[in-house]
């Protein structure tokens, strides 16, 4: 049934704005008119606006704001990232689901949901993931790397998100080391990279990415530290953003751009071309040159963020002039005067 529905949707999309006769659909699909009518109703339940006429057939008027492969696929330019596409309307956490995938799951598989009911960030804090308002996704990767090199994948993901946002909206965000994408001092995207590894090899890496896209308002406890692309887009009034008739940011195009840029950068990472990735991340950093508070389980200390090394570690300078490499998985970094 799913294949029939996909074929019907393909036919309607190819003729969007024009009627396709019921007889033509029946002949192409090899099904009865009753079956076509049932399939059309399934598409309508998914949010597709389809007009019907007794003598003229069916016409697709408008697609819904959903992130199914049928909607995102036409924008994808990847070879394997996002090609095994696992879509859900609602999950507790895309990372949790990705980590439960079988061992033979293909490299680059994507788990994408319209809503997360238990989304979380790097330190276990909850992540607001309202239905149809953002991009809540996880990539399942099997890189042939040493475990100590895995943190670099977070930088790959952050840079892919920045490039995608710039491509779709014209806005250039910054990167707060190691895993937040920032616009005007507020978080628009968080990244959670989780690793399953042995002593000298990686079994899999799951990269969770949450982007606030079309959220219009945040609760009081988040409004000073979080933002969305829609909020920032409306501030600057750029006309570059690809949006729908309601003035919302096009989530499906943004998702595809994240995947497209991720594959390009991920392949550079796998081939050892890390220097260019780190160089661009440093240019986009909102952490370097700032006074930061390094927060560890045992306490913390103040320092100046001075560099990011070739393995993605943050180099900080302490008050006594000594320098220390800070590993992403060991600490949290906060600006002395605020979030950034």
Q: Which residues are annotated as a binding site for biotin?
A: 93-95, 116, 120-122, 187
Q: Cα–Cα distance between 40 and 46 in angstroms, integer?
A: 10
Helix H or strand E segment including 39? helix 33-46
CB atoms within 10 A of CB 14: 10
Q: H-type helices in 129-273, by residue range?
A: 152-169, 229-236, 251-270
| Ranges assigned E (strand) in the chain | 49-53, 57-62, 85-88, 109-113, 134-141, 174-176, 180-183, 186-197, 202-212, 291-296, 299-308, 314-317, 323-326, 332-335
Q: Which residues are annotated as a binding site?
A: 93-95, 116, 120-122, 187
Q: Cα separations (Å) of 82 from 69, 139, 141, 320?
A: 9, 8, 11, 47
Please return the burial class of 212, using the count of CB atoms within 10 Å of its CB with bins 0-12, 13-18 and 19+.
buried
Q: How many CB atoms lie within 10 A of CB 303?
A: 23
CA gap 333, 95 in Å, rounded: 23
CB under 8 Å to 307, separation ≥6 — which residues? 282, 288, 314, 315
Q: At a CB cut-off of 8 Å and minimum separation 6, what does 7 contact?
A: 28, 29
CA–CA separation, 129 vs 132, rounded Å? 9
CA–CA distance, 61 with 274 (Å, rounded to integer): 46
Work out the angle at residue 155's Cα, subtended by the Cα atoms of residues 130 and 312, and round it to the nearest 5 degrees: 140
């Amino acid at each position: 049934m799913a294949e029939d529905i996909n074929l019907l949707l393909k036919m309607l999309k190819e003729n969007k704005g024009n009627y396709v006769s019921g007889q033509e659909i029946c002949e192409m699909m090899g099904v009865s008119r009753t079956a076509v009518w049932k399939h059309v109703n399934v598409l309508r339940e998914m949010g597709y606006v389809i007009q019907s006429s007794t003598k003229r057939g069916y016409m697709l008027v408008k697609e819904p704001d959903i992130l199914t492969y049928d909607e995102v696929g036409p924008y994808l330019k990847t070879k394997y990232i996002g090609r095994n596409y696992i879509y859900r309307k609602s999950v507790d956490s895309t990372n949790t689901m990705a980590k439960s995938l079988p061992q033979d799951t293909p490299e680059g598989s994507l788990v994408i949901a319209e809503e997360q009911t238990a989304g979380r960030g790097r330190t276990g804090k909850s992540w607001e993931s309202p239905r149809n308002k953002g991009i809540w996704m996880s990539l399942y990767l099997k890189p042939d790397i040493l475990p100590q090199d895995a943190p670099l994948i977070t930088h790959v993901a952050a840079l892919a998100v920045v490039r995608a946002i710039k491509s779709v909206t014209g806005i250039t965000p910054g990167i707060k080391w190691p895993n937040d994408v920032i616009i005007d001092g507020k978080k628009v995207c968080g990244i959670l990279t989780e690793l399953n590894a042995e002593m000298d090899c990686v079994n899999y890496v799951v990269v969770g990415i949450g982007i606030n896209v079309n959220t219009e308002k945040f609760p009081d406890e988040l409004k000073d530290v979080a933002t969305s692309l829609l909020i920032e887009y409306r501030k600057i009034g750029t006309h570059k953003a690809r949006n729908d008739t309601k003035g919302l940011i096009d989530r499906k195009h943004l998702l595809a751009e994240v995947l497209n840029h991720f594959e390009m950068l991920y392949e550079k990472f796998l081939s050892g071309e890390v220097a260019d990735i780190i160089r661009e991340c440093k240019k986009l950093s909102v952490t370097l040159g700032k006074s930061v508070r390094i927060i560890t389980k045992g306490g913390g200390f103040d320092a100046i963020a001075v560099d990011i090394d070739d393995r993605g570690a943050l180099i900080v300078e302490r008050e006594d002039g000594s320098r220390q490499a800070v590993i992403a998985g060991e600490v949290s970094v906060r600006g002395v005067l605020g979030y950034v």
